[in-house]
Amino acid sequence: MSVLVVGAGAIGQWLGALLFEKAGESVTLLARPRQLESLARLPMTSLSELPPGAQFDDILVTVKAFQVEEAARQLVESGVKTRRLWGFQNGYGSDEILASHFPGVWFGAMTTTIPVYIEDGKPMPGPKGGLAWATKHEKFLAPAWLNLLGLPCFAVARVDSLKCSKLLLNITCNASCALLDMVPAQVVAHGPMFDFELACLREFLAVVKANRIPLVDLPNYSVTQMAVLQRLPNLLIRGLLGAKITDARGQKPPSLLVDMRAHRPHSEVDVLNGAVVALGHRCGVPTPGNTWLHHHLKAVVKDPLQWERYRGQIDSVARQALQALKTK
Ligand SMILES: NC(=O)c1ccc[n+]([C@@H]2O[C@H](COP(=O)([O-])OP(=O)(O)OC[C@H]3O[C@@H](n4cnc5c(N)ncnc54)[C@H](OP(=O)(O)O)[C@@H]3O)[C@@H](O)[C@H]2O)c1
């Protein structure tokens, strides 16, 4: 089968290599022109523009959520044809944008619980986790390569379950770390800041419940058990969830902080905390904590000079954030 991977970043290069090496697929990477020289070392084809009449069995879009609109438009303008289209973005909202550019095409949402970073130009996957996917279309039309990648691959019954279960893993200690320019272990170790994180997590779980979206377990993450933890006192959660976060990714800058440090003019906070706020509006559940994080991180992304007001100032940020929880 032929697969086009759109976006040759951490996920695109990693997934492209798995598809080529493990599943034996014919893989093309659609990359930025500046990336072509370094991608020439890979055994897959790399292009920055599709030739006329290009056709693939699958197109996997692995750009950031805020780049989906532009990438989808470029694909449509190129006239490329495909049997299936996949969105790999974290968070909530970009699948709809992507799918709307290809009406009638089978669409799947996919994610991984393996963190993948680019180091020295190469994708470096974490040691544990796997893939998960879901579709609103016919499941039996999914490709065979899903089970040939050498990783656990969960088929999830509902797209919203997949998206929200992954969102639960993505929102904790992500936006706050980006705002503070700190790593998750520092947030977990700070009592008031971690209390605020847990308040945001409880908001999210209330929103998911009110929208009747069932959470599901993902490879290496018992999401359903994490959701039950919310009923425990914060001190106990810090011992259980906090220890797990510190152990698994305590010293790693989370994705929103990576983007801040790279001076990206956009942020996926819109599809993470912003999506919690939007889902809250849909069902009338207040989300003051996620609203506060979304609003403040967006302001800093728009005007990076404002970052100085938050960086490293965990005591005052925690105070402001906890105060925001009192606004309904
Ligand atoms: N990394 C992870 O561990 C992980 C895990 C699960 C899910 N995800 C999700 O997967 C998505 C991709 O993440 P990532 O970490 O792989 O991001 P990334 O490293 O930034 O990769 C995206 C790549 O796509 C390129 N790109 C953007 N628009 C393009 C276009 N129109 N044509 C060609 N190339 C284009 C980007 O180039 P520029 O840099 O020039 O913009 C970049 O090289 C995100 O939504 C993320 O939330 C990531």
Beta bridge partners of 55: 81
pLDDT recorded at residue 131? 98
* Cβ 71 under 6 angstroms from ligand 1: yes
Return the residue matching tokens 């996920």: 11
pLDDT recorded at residue 235? 86
* Cβ 111 under 6 angstroms from ligand 1: yes
Nearest C-alpha neighbor of 86 from the set 62, 120, 115, 50: 62
Pocket mutation for ligand 1, best pick of 15, 64, 165, 256 (most atoms within 8 Å of C-beta): 64
Nearest CA to ligand 1 atom 38: 32
pLDDT recorded at residue 328? 60
Burial class (CB in 10 A: 0-12, 13-18, 19+), 140: exposed
pLDDT recorded at residue 301? 97
> Strand, helix or coil at 56?
strand
Pocket mutation for ligand 1, best pick of 4, 5, 11 (most atoms within 8 Å of C-beta): 11
Cα–Cα distance between 91 and 163 in angstroms, integer? 6
Q: Is the dihedral of CA 249, 254, 257, 262 positive or negative?
A: positive
Cα(11) to centroid(ligand 1), Å: 7
Pocket mutation for ligand 1, best pick of 67, 77, 114, 154 (most atoms within 8 Å of C-beta): 67
Cα(248) to centroid(ligand 1), Å: 22
* Cβ 90 under 6 angstroms from ligand 1: yes
Cα–Cα distance between 316 and 300 in angstroms, integer? 16
Cα dihedral 149→59→267→97 (10° resolution): -130
* Cβ 108 under 6 angstroms from ligand 1: no
Q: Which ligand 1 atom minimizes the distance to the CA of 13?
A: 16
CA atoms within a 13 Å half-sphere pointing along the CA-CB vector of 25: 25
pLDDT digits (tens, 9 = 90+) for 101-119: 999 999 999 999 999 999 8
Q: Which ligand 1 atom minimizes the distance to the CA of 115?
A: 3
* Ramachandran assignment for 212, one of left (phi > 0), alpha (psi -120 to 50 degrees), beta (any other): left
| DSSP label of 24 | -
Cα(91) to centroid(ligand 1), Å: 13
Cα(100) to centroid(ligand 1), Å: 20
Three-state secondary structure string covering 168-236: HHHHCCCHHHHHHCCCHHHHHHCHHHHHHHHHHHHHHHHHHHHCCCCCCCECCECHHHHHHHCCCCHHH
Low-confidence ranges of the chain (pLDDT < 70): 328
Structural domains of the chain sorted by starting position, each given as residue range(s) with its CATH number in brackets: 2-155 (3.40.50.720), 164-324 (1.10.1040.10)
